[in-house]
């Protein structure tokens, strides 16, 4: 592990993004536009206050999942990954470099969406806005880590896109946004218990609903961070120095 190589990788990815301003603009603006749309579709401040916090976590999670799985797949298919694997870079340096770059992007994304939600759209956040930002970034990192991991199982970008409904949509359906998790049957409830997004959404809902920071909140944060780290390490295991 080497911090300089992690940072070099982060800088490289950010430079790549700098040459693609349209992607950056969409990454940062689309979640906010969807929040605005949602506010007026729901047309009720109370319902919006209940839904919006979860979305502040779901957007970075989903978007970063997609962006990362495509970017790493591209790295695999254009043989730049093979070249890196012949060089003195640790696999985790590469993955943490990715996580850091997309984590920074997620901060920008969530900051813009939160600012618009709390000012223009009237979202009321009772807890710490910093903690909210931390959870949203953890969600983004979870998306990055999962995206890195599943890119190993996709041969084409078309396949990589198809992993979105497989890995992201079930978590979305079961995270408590569409139906309270407690009201689900035991199978669904158990499933929602093993999906990291459920804890992220629970944490976001708690922060917007109250200013107390309790043990459950810390537990949720730890679970999301732990799952992100686990997926990153699993992702490292899918990078091979030797290939057939």
Partner 1 sequence: MTNSAVTVDGLRVRRGGREVVHDVSFAIARGRVTGVLGPSGCGKTTMLRSIVGVQIVAGGEVTVLGHPAGSPQLRRKIGYATQNPAIYADLTVTEALRYFAAILRAPVSDVDRVIGEVGLAAEADSLVGNLSGGQLSRANLAVALLGTPELLVLDEPTVGLDPLLRDSLWELFRGLAARGATLLVSSHVMDEAARCDELLLMREGRILATGSPAALRERTGSADLEQAFLRLIRDEEAARS
Shortest gap between Cβ of 84 and partner 1 (angstroms)?
A: 7
- By C-beta, is 76 or 206 nearer to partner 1? 76
Residue 179: C-alpha distances to residues 176, 192, 205 (Å): 5, 11, 14
Shortest gap between Cβ of 172 and partner 1 (angstroms)?
A: 30
Distance from chain centroid for Cα 67: 10
Please answer whether residues 125 and 208 qualify as being in contact, where contact means their C-beta atoms are separated by less than 8 angstroms.
yes
Rounded to whole angstroms, the Cα distance separating 168 from 83 reads 31
- Residue 3 has a CB neighbour count (10 Å cut-off) of 9
- By C-beta, is 82 or 157 nearer to partner 1? 82
Question: What track of x and - describes contact with partner 1 for positions 129 through 168 (by CB under 8 A)?
Answer: ----------------------------------------
Footprint of partner 1 on 5-34 (CB under 8 A): 5, 8-9, 11-12, 15-16, 19-20
Count of residues that bind partner 1 according to CB under 8 A:
25
Shortest gap between Cβ of 216 and partner 1 (angstroms)?
A: 42
Rounded to whole angstroms, the Cα distance separating 76 from 229 reads 21
Shortest gap between Cβ of 4 and partner 1 (angstroms)?
A: 7
Nearest Cα neighbor of 72 from 124, 31, 16 is 16
Footprint of partner 1 on 62-91 (CB under 8 A): 78-80, 82-89
Residue from 43, 119, 183, 243 touching partner 1 (CB under 8 A): that is: 243
- 112, 113, 115, 116: CA torsion to nearest 10: 110
Q: Which residues of the chain form contacts with partner 1 (CB under 8 A)? A: 4-5, 8-9, 11-12, 15-16, 19-20, 78-80, 82-89, 241-244
């Amino acid at each position: 592990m080497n911090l300089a190589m992690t940072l070099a990788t982060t800088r490289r990815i950010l430079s790549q993004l700098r040459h693609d301003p349209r992607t950056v603009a969409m990454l940062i603006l689309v979640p906010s536009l969807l929040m605005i749309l949602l506010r007026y579709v729901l047309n009720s401040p109370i319902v919006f206050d209940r839904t919006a916090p979860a979305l502040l976590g779901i957007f970075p999670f989903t978007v970063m999942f997609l962006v990362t799985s495509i970017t790493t797949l591209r790295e695999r298919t254009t043989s730049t990954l093979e070249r890196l694997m012949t060089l003195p870079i640790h696999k985790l340096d590469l993955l943490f470099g990715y996580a850091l770059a997309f984590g920074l992007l997620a901060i920008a994304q969530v900051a813009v969406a939160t600012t618009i939600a709390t000012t223009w759209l009237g979202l009321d956040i009772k807890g710490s806005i910093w903690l909210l930002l931390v959870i949203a970034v953890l969600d983004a990192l979870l998306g990055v880590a999962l995206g890195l991991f599943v890119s190993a199982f996709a041969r084409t970008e078309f396949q990589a896109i198809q992993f979105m409904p497989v890995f992201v949509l079930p978590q979305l359906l079961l995270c408590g946004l569409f139906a309270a998790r407690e009201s689900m049957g035991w199978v669904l409830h158990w499933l929602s218990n093993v999906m990291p997004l459920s804890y992220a959404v629970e944490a976001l809902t708690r922060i917007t609903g109250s200013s107390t920071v309790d043990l459950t909140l810390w537990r949720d944060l730890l679970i999301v961070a732990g799952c992100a780290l686990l997926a990153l390490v699993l992702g490292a295991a899918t990078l091979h120095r030797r290939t057939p």
